[in-house]
């Protein structure tokens, strides 16, 4: 086989093989195929009927975030005028969160390298103009497990940097079905979403993007 043919044959595999963007920062492109994306998106949409998306607010200022949120899992991450925290119930309905869908659990099992199960799954919904500023995921009581982050729907421009807010940053486009893992030396890197690219996916009715962030919250006993 000619060398160029070999490269052509290997290209799809190279694109799908998980790759490290930085030590501990894994990108698994196309982890979910089209069929799995549809099943997972349908489960998340069902979760939003039981646990409706709500508008989170910044601590102190009460300024609304552009991303809408809900959760599944035993604990959910919430942000309101009183601060950031994890709680077992929806802040508006007072109901417990729904269980984390099996497909999301599968991504955790196959990519996190953590023997325990995630306690929290934050569901972020991005409409056409939503964005998420640079931040660290640091409200957990234990950082030994990674954060596993699943993209569904429209593509997003994801920004990541280092452990200090002012460290240089890079940008990567995340497509539907991609999964990012922030673990080890990258567990606490600053990251955010500059914007989504509307119209790049027809997975979600009405368009937009869903991100699922799976986390362990408490220290294992
Ligand atoms: C987050 O950091 O909470 C979400 C990241 C993303 O939407 O990709
Ligand atoms: Mn985050």
DSSP 160-175: E--SSTTS--EEEEE-
Closest Cα to atom 3 of ligand 1: 213
Q: What residue ranges do the domains of the chain occupy? A: 3-215
What whole-number percentage of the chain has pLDDT above 70? 94
76 or 6, which is more confident: 76
Evaluate whether the domain defined by 3-215 bears CATH number 2.40.50.140: no
45-67 confidence digits (pLDDT tens)? 999 999 999 999 999 999 999 99
- pTM for the model stands at 0.94
- What distance in angstroms lies between residue 45's CA and the mean position of ligand 1's atoms? 18
Residue 168 to residue 29: CA distance in whole angstroms = 23
User: Could you tell me if 98 and 47 are in contact, meaning their C-beta atoms sit under 8 angstroms apart?
Assistant: yes
Q: Which ligand is nearest to the CA of 159?
A: 1
Residue 105 to residue 73: CA distance in whole angstroms = 10
Among the listed ranges 6-15, 94-103, 137-146, which one has the minimum average pLDDT value?
Answer: 6-15
Cα–Cα distances in angstroms (integers) from residue 196 to residues 10, 54, 97, 129, 200, in the given order: 30, 19, 27, 7, 9
- Does residue 213's CB lie within 6 angstroms of at least one atom of ligand 1? yes
- Nearest alpha carbon to residue 19 among 114, 96, 142, 111: 111
3-class secondary-structure state, position 139: coil
- Nearest alpha carbon to residue 40 among 172, 114, 119, 150: 150
- What distance in angstroms lies between residue 124's CA and the mean position of ligand 1's atoms? 7
Is 7's pLDDT higher than 80? no
């Amino acid at each position: 086989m000619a060398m160029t043919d070999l490269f052509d044959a290997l290209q799809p595999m190279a694109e799908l093989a998980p790759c490290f963007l930085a030590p501990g920062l894994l990108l698994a492109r196309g982890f979910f195929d089209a069929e799995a994306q549809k099943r997972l998106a349908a489960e998340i949409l069902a979760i939003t009927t039981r646990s409706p998306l709500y508008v989170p607010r910044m601590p102190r200022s009460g300024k609304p975030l552009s991303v809408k949120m809900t959760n599944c899992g035993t604990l959910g991450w919430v942000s309101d005028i009183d601060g950031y925290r994890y709680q077992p119930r929806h802040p508006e309905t007072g109901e417990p969160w729904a269980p984390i869908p099996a497909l999301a659990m599968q991504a955790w099992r196959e990519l996190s390298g953590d023997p325990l199960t995630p306690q929290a799954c934050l569901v972020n919904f991005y409409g056409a103009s939503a964005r998420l500023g640079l931040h660290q995921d640091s409200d957990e009581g234990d950082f030994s497990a990674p954060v596993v982050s699943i993209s569904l729907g429209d593509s997003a421009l994801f920004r990541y940097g280092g452990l200090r807010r002012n460290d240089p940053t890079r940008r990567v486009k995340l497509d539907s079905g991609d999964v990012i893992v922030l673990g080890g030396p990258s567990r606490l890197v600053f990251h955010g979403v500059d914007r989504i690219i509307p119209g790049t996916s027809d997975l979600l009715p009405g368009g937009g993007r869903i991100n699922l962030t799976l986390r362990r919250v408490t220290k294992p006993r």
